[in-house]
Structure 1
Amino acid sequence: MDFKPLGDSALLVSFGEVIDEETNDRVHALAKAIERANFEWLVEVVPAYSSLAIIYDPGLIDFNGVKRAVEGLEFSAGRFEGKLVEIPVVYGGEYGPDLEFVAQYNGLTPEEVIELHSKPIYRVYFLGFLPGFAYLGGMDERIATPRLKKPRLKVPAGSVGIAGKQTGIYPLESPGGWRLIGRTPLKLFNPSKEPPTLLQPGDRVKFVPIDEEKFREIYRTEWGQEND
Structure 2
Amino acid sequence: MLISRLTESAMMVEFGQQITAETTAMIADYVTFIKTQYSRELIDVTPAYTKVMLHFRLDCNCYSLMVAASEQWFADHQQSHKGSCHSTSKMHQLPVYYHSDVAPDLATVAEHSKLTEQQVIYRHSDKIYQVGAIGFTAGFAFLSTVDDEIAMPRLSSPRLQIPAGSVGIADNQTAIYPDQSPGGWHIIGNCPQSLFLADQYPLSIFSIGDQVQFFAITKQEFLDLGGLLWKR
TM-score by length of 1: 0.88
Structure 2 CA distance for aligned equivalents of residues 181 and 134 of structure 1: 16
User: Equivalent residue for 1:22?
Assistant: 22
Match of residue 209 from structure 1: 216
Aligned sequence identity (%): 37
Q: Determine the C-alpha separation between the residues in 1 that align with 2:57 and 2:167.
A: 37
1:138 aligned residue (122, 125, 145) = 145
What amino acid is the match of 1:117? H
**Local SS of the residue matching 1:219:** coil
Range with bigger deviation, 84-93 or 57-66: 57-66
1:147 corresponding residue in structure 2: 154
Instruction: Tell whether the 8 Å contact from 1:151 to 1:176 is kept in structure 2 after alignment.
Output: yes
CA contact under 8 A between 2:24 and 2:208: conserved in structure 1?
no
Task: For residue 65 of structure 1, report the CA deviation from its aligned partner.
Answer: 5.3
| Separation in structure 1 between the aligned mates of residue 107 and residue 39 of structure 2, nearest angstrom | 51
Q: Any conservation in 1 of the 2:41–2:62 contact (CA below 8 Å)?
A: no
Show the 5 A alignment for 1:52-63. 52-61=52-61, 63=63
**Residue 161 of structure 1: how far off its partner (Å):** 0.3
- Gaps in structure 1 of 5+ consecutive residues: 221-225
Q: Which residue of 2 aligns with 1:107?
A: 114
Matching residue of 1:80: 86
Is 1:2 paired with 2:2?
Answer: yes
State whether residues 153 and 175 of structure 1, in contact with CA within 8 Å, keep that contact through their aligned partners in structure 2.
Answer: yes
User: 1:156, CA displacement in angstroms?
Assistant: 0.6
| CA 1:69–1:206: 2 relative to 1, 3 Å | closer
Could you give the per-residue CA deviations for residues 50-99 of structure 1, whole angstroms, max 9, x where no partner exists?
Answer: 11111112343465553344223354244205222211111131311011
Report the equivalent of 1:11.
Answer: 11
Superposed displacement of residue 192, structure 1: 3.1
Deviation at 1:116, TM superposition (A): 0.4
Aligned Cα RMSD in Å? 2.2
Q: TM (normalized to structure 2)?
A: 0.86
Secondary structure at the counterpart of residue 24 of structure 1: helix
Give the counterpart letter for 2:121 in structure 1.
Answer: I
Counterpart CA distance in 1 for 2:182 and 2:43 is 29
Report if aligned partners of 1:46, 1:54 keep a CA contact under 8 Å in 2. yes
Structure 1 runs (4+) deviating above 6 angstroms are none
Separation in structure 1 between the aligned mates of residue 95 and residue 218 of structure 2, nearest angstrom? 9
* Alpha-carbon distance in structure 1 between the residues aligned to 2:179 and 2:191: 12
- Structure 2 unaligned segments of length 5 or more: list them: none
- How many residues are aligned here? 223
Contact kept in structure 2, 1:134 and 1:199, CA below 8 Å: yes
Q: What is the identity, as a one-letter code, of the residue corresponding to 1:11?
A: M
